[in-house]
Amino acid sequence: MADNDGTAAHLWPSAEQHLLLEAALRDGAPSVAAFRAWCAGVDLDADFSYQTVRLLPLVYENMQRQGLSDPLMGRLKGVYRRAWYDTHRLFHRVQPVVAALVAGGVEVLLVKGAPLALTYYRNHALRPMADVDIMVAPADAGRALEILGTIGWCAIDAPDADVFRFRHAVQCIGPGGAEIDLHWHVLYEAASDDADRTFRATAEPLDFLGSPVRQLDPTGLLLLVVVHGMRWNDETPIRWIPDALTILRRRGADVDWERMVAVAAAHRLTHRLGLGLAYLASTFSAPVPREILARLRARRVSLVERVERTVLLADNYRLRRSVLATQWVSFVEYCRYADTRGPLAFISGFSHYLRFRMKLGGRREILPLIVRGVGRRIAHRPPRVGAAQDST
Domains and CATH numbers, the chain: 10-299 (3.30.460.40), 323-376 (no CATH)
Q: What length does the chain have? A: 392
Of 92-106, 158-172, 346-360, 369-383, where does the model show the most confidence?
92-106
The per-residue pLDDT for 166 is 87
More confident of the two residues 166 and 368: 166
Query: H or E segment at 213?
Result: strand 211-215
Alpha helices in the chain (DSSP H): 15-25, 28-41, 50-65, 73-103, 113-115, 141-150, 161-166, 193-201, 218-229, 240-251, 257-266, 270-284, 290-298, 303-312, 316-320, 323-334, 343-358, 366-380, 385-390
- Residue 313 has a pLDDT of 84
Q: What share of the chain has pLDDT > 70, as a percent?
A: 90
Average pLDDT over residues 302-326: 79
pLDDT of residue 338: 78
The whole-angstrom separation of Cα 119 and Cα 111 is 11
Tens digit of each residue's pLDDT (9 = 90 or more) over 174-223? 998 999 999 999 998 888 888 898 899 999 999 999 999 999 999 999 99
Task: Determine the 3-state secondary structure of 256 from DSSP.
Answer: coil
Q: φ, ψ for residue 4 (rounded to 5)?
A: -80, 0
| Nearest to 37, CA basis, from 52, 21, 48 | 21
Instruction: Give the confidence band of 119 by pLDDT, cuts at 50, 70, 90.
Output: very high
DSSP 363: G
What is the average pLDDT score of the chain? 88
**Looking at the predicted structure, is the pLDDT value of residue 392 above 60?**
no
Q: What percent of the chain has pLDDT over 90?
A: 62
**How many CB atoms are closer than 10 A to CB 104?**
13
Q: Evaluate whether 133 touches 180 at the Cβ level (below 8 Å).
A: yes
